[in-house]
Amino acid sequence: MRIKTAGLLVLLAGTAPLAAQEGGGPLSAIDWLSQSVATPAAQDTGGVAMAIDEPPVTGQGGALPQPVATTALDGPSPDAVGLIPPAVSDLPRNLWGQGLTAEISARLVGHTDDALPALRQLFLTILLAEVEAPVDAGGRGDLLQVRIDKLLALGALEQAAALIEAAGATTPDMFRRSFDVALLTGAEDRACEAMAATPHLAPTVPARIFCQARQGDWDTAALTLHTSEALGQITPDQAALLARFLDPDLFEGEAPPPAPSPVTPLDWKMFEAIGEPLPTEGLPVAFSYAEIGPKAGWKAQIEAAERLTRGGTLPPNVILGLYTERNPAASGGVWDRAAAFQKFEAALASGDAAKVGQALPEVWAKMQDAELEVPFAVLFGKALIDLPLTGEAAAMRAAI
């Protein structure tokens, strides 16, 4: 059954329309993006709503005329870029109907991420769908940026990266997002190569120094640091972190510099490089991607994968692989979950219904504690159907 525009508005109507952030920034702006490239001092808001803290002149929208919707006629709009064609998403091409960019953006930004798993997946499909641009898009790509920022906020980095690649990271705003996704997914060398290939994007000093060092040009990086510090182009805190990043041996035994607020992916990457990685727990969920790779410890990998799996942005088989990678090193918390998971999987592999019945209550309780019931059901629901379970285990199987 196809989802009509009216149904979409019901799905997204959980919050009232939101105004743009104070200061005139984009509606979807997220404060933890690295300042990797310079952006123009003044930006066109592109029709996105601005916050005005005063009552209207009259009762019906003020004395000003309603805005006129315009759209470009020459070539495709960036807002129409998507990864899932209508034949696959089953969404209509005119999904947005007569909705304006500001209205649609407000609904997407305000949509909470604590919905039922099926609704969460539907929302991700909406963000990734290939549909017609809003009637007032004008070829600016404002809604595309909102969609990408929402994916980043949800921790869907792989999906955001694919959407950026489909659209092209040819503007400072798009490149900033592409750069940070690369940092958090372990592709910083590729990000630096892209930065070197697009000098017109004007990389900022910290990003330039980081990439010079990553590419082995340590002397130029050190010269850039000293010159920029002397000219006041970077803050003392930035200079301290960059100096330690370039030569950590000079600061051996000294306390690490304080973590900035907010922490950006570039900050996180440099703290990791100096041997003082910042914990991702408490940071935006997108940072969890930085700890699911082999560089992080097993416990950190599991905890990061749990956060991403819980949000529906990581396939359940990833957490399956991490839970069963090795024997738990201790007890409590994540170790108990891994141990219960391994015990249950071994019982299921044996085909012994009695063993499964004994292991299921414990692992199901651990999955409930971690709010991972749905991924567990996706992994094992079908395998449990035909087992002759009885009692408590049979009731749990029905719930799963």
What confidence tens digit (pLDDT) does each residue in 257-306 have?
888 989 999 999 999 999 898 988 889 999 999 998 878 889 999 999 99
pLDDT of residue 128: 96
One DSSP character per residue, 254-277 reads SPPPPPPSSPPHHHHHHHHHTT-P
| Among the listed residues 45, 17, 29, 19, the one whose alpha carbon sits nearest the alpha carbon of residue 107 | 17
Q: How far is CA 88 from CA 3, 156, 237, in A?
A: 13, 19, 49
Q: What angle do CA 221, 223, 226 make, to 5 degrees?
A: 110
pLDDT of residue 24: 44
pLDDT of residue 386: 87
pLDDT of residue 312: 86
Q: What is the pTM of this model?
A: 0.81
The stretch 143-167 carries a mean pLDDT of 94
For residue 65, is pLDDT > 70?
Answer: no
Whole-number Å distance between alpha carbons of 49 and 31 = 19
- Percent of the chain predicted with pLDDT > 70: 83
pLDDT of residue 49: 36
Which ranges in the chain belong to alpha helices (H)?
Answer: 5-11, 86-89, 101-110, 117-128, 142-154, 157-167, 172-184, 188-197, 205-214, 218-230, 236-246, 265-273, 298-310, 316-323, 334-350, 353-369, 373-385, 391-399
Is residue 37 within 8 Å of 176, Cβ to Cβ? yes
259: left (phi over 0), alpha (psi -120 to 50) or beta: beta
Which of 16-20, 110-114, 231-235, 310-314 is the most confident on average?
231-235
Give me the residues paired with residue 283 across strands: 281
pLDDT of residue 31: 85
| Among the listed residues 301, 236, 239, 264, the one whose alpha carbon sits nearest the alpha carbon of residue 31 | 264
Q: What is the DSSP letter of 220?
A: H
pLDDT band, residue 8 (cuts 50/70/90): low
Query: In the numeric block, which tokens belong to residue 239?
Result: 């200079």
For residue 255, is pLDDT > 90?
Answer: no
Is residue 360 within 8 Å of 396, Cβ to Cβ? yes
For residue 48, is pLDDT > 50?
Answer: no
Task: Tell me the longest C-alpha to C-alpha distance in the chain.
Answer: 75
The residue count of the chain comes to: 400
Query: In the numeric block, which tokens belong to residue 78?
Result: 């960036």
Whole-number Å distance between alpha carbons of 266 and 155 = 17
The stretch 149-165 carries a mean pLDDT of 94
| Among the listed residues 19, 36, 35, the one whose alpha carbon sits nearest the alpha carbon of residue 27 | 19
pLDDT of residue 27: 60
pLDDT band, residue 10 (cuts 50/70/90): very low
Q: How many other CB atoms are there within 10 angstroms of residue 203's CB atom?
A: 23
Q: pLDDT tens digit string along 203-254? A: 899 999 999 999 999 999 999 999 999 999 999 999 999 999 999 888 888 8
Whole-number Å distance between alpha carbons of 361 and 345 = 13
pLDDT band, residue 311 (cuts 50/70/90): confident
The stretch 137-159 carries a mean pLDDT of 93
pLDDT of residue 228: 94
Mean pLDDT, the chain, whole residue set: 84
In one letter, which amino acid is 244? R
pLDDT of residue 57: 38
Q: pLDDT tens digit string along 369-380? A: 999 999 999 999
Whole-number Å distance between alpha carbons of 157 and 180 = 10
Whole-number Å distance between alpha carbons of 251 and 97 = 59
Find all residues with CB under 8 Å of 304, minimum gap 6, and list them. 280, 288, 289, 290, 291, 292, 296
